[in-house]
Amino acid sequence: MKKFLILLLGGLILSCEGPEPRRPVQGKTDTFIEKSVVRNRQLLASEEATIKQLIERDTLHEYFQSGSGSWFYYETQNPLDSLGIAPDDRVTFTYTLASLEEEPIYSQDEIGVLSVHVDKDELFPGLREALKVLRNREEATFLFPSAMGYGYPGDQNKIGTNVPLRCRITIINVEKSKDSIL
């Protein structure tokens, strides 16, 4: 019995190995994300080229490029108002949405009159930036690439995936914020 225990103990000692190091898992690379970035850049370049072609064909209006990546022209300008719209100002306005080819998507009647605090309420990115470009009682038409509109998901209703937009905005009234420096 003593020999059996010694053999068993010896077998246990000899059979124990050191800890086996774990091998790195062969993971997937970020090729999907990289491809997505390339695809989105190509889409943006294509949409910007289309917008620039529309601008070149439109000889009736003088277009301006905003710092946020949209283009616009004034329907009505208010040179007497020197104060721009700042964050936290309450803006009452209307807008319409159409495709770049001017096919209506949402009319002013469907959207109605909106009253929002700038940078506080939910608006699509292009509209939020456009409000900061305009002044009280101005009207302008903006051309937005899809990334500044509703982007990939659309609006789950009338605006599909990656649709560049034409947006006509009319500022009805601006109530300056009490904290506004302007």
Domains of the chain: 41-175 (3.10.50.40)
Token code pair at residue 82: 């020197």
| pLDDT values of the chain reduced to their tens digit, one per residue, 182 residues | 778 778 777 666 666 666 777 777 776 667 888 899 999 999 999 999 999 999 999 999 999 999 889 999 999 998 887 778 888 899 999 999 999 999 999 999 999 999 999 988 889 999 999 999 999 999 999 999 999 999 988 898 999 999 999 999 999 999 988 775 55
User: Given CA atoms 146, 147, 153, 159 in this order, what sign does their dihedral have?
Assistant: negative
Nearest Cα neighbor of 71 from 82, 58, 85 is 58
Determine the 3-state secondary structure of 95 from DSSP: strand
Nearest Cα neighbor of 167 from 68, 95, 76, 108 is 95
Specify the pTM.
0.79
DSSP code per residue over 116-140: EETTTS---HHHHHHHHH-BTT-EE
